[in-house]
Amino acid sequence: MSTQNQLFKPDGKNSIHDGIEHSPSGGKALIDPTDTVLLLLDHQTGLFQNVKDIAVADLRRNTTALAKLAALIDLPLIITASIPEGPNGPLMPEIQQVAPHAVYVPRKGEVNAWDNALFVKTVRETGKKTLIIAGVWTNVCVMFPALDAKAEGYNVYVVIDASGDPSELASRTTLARFTQAGVIPTSTNAVTCELHRTWNRPDAAQLAELYCMASPSYQAVMESFNKAQEVEDAKQSNNAPRSARSTTPALAGQSR
């Protein structure tokens, strides 16, 4: 059984089960990990060349972080591509490299993935009612299925910084349409936090690595903290009574 399945139960309460007493109202407004599927749509190399509202390197890193998160917590992941043999190009390989459990659904030329019967069937068969969606372009490949899924009764979140548009204007108008329709815009970091919920879990170190992907400056925070701990440990070791210090160089090195 995964850490995710141990921490959360499909009881609709979205409460943390880690042996600690938590507020019964905590998490009620957040994404329920037991009711969620991740959809990564059309992250294709040809489409990347027209993304102008976010650095493509950032987009790819955030998308990879989402895929790694799905693999880490056993979140269902469905991917698809729009004419990968044409100018839109193949899917970025990182997704399936870090999340081999991802289910690829081929399409037959549909621009809107929700027009593809097999894609919708695959989503429905997960039994999940909350969709986290990211893709390229945001104003087409993400927006069309997001609006259709919302109209069908799904709770829909769109990860803006794991998606990309040909212009800032396109991105802003798409965000406005999302909010008008009740689709919730979010970020890679926010999604990770909502599904993470507590550091009291054995995969905490792996989750910290995902934060470093979504926010590279967080790596500097961790490095500074670790260095401060090393310095403090060294001080404590040097201030200890001589009889308590190791006389073996190898052991003394380990004590620091």
Using alpha carbons only, give the angle 216, 219, 222 rounded to the nearest 5 degrees: 155
The answer for residues whose C-beta is within 8 angstroms of residue 70's C-beta and 6 or more apart is 38, 76, 77, 99, 101, 102
Which residues 6+ apart lie within 8 Å of 107 measured at CB? 80, 81, 82, 83, 113, 116, 119
- Residue 140 to residue 165: CA distance in whole angstroms: 9
SS3 content of the chain, % helix, strand, coil (to 5): 50, 10, 35
> Which residue's entry shows tokens 């008008």?
180
Which of 51, 73, 141, 210 is labelled catalytic?
141
For residue 117, how many other CB atoms are within 10 A of its CB?
Answer: 10
Residue labelled with tokens 């936090």: 193
Q: Are 69 and 195 in contact (CB under 8 A)?
A: yes
* 212 has catalytic annotation: no
The CA radius of gyration of the chain, in Å to the nearest whole number, is 22
Residue 107, sorted as left (phi over 0), alpha (psi -120 to 50) or beta, turns out to be beta
User: Which positions are annotated as active-site residues?
Assistant: 141
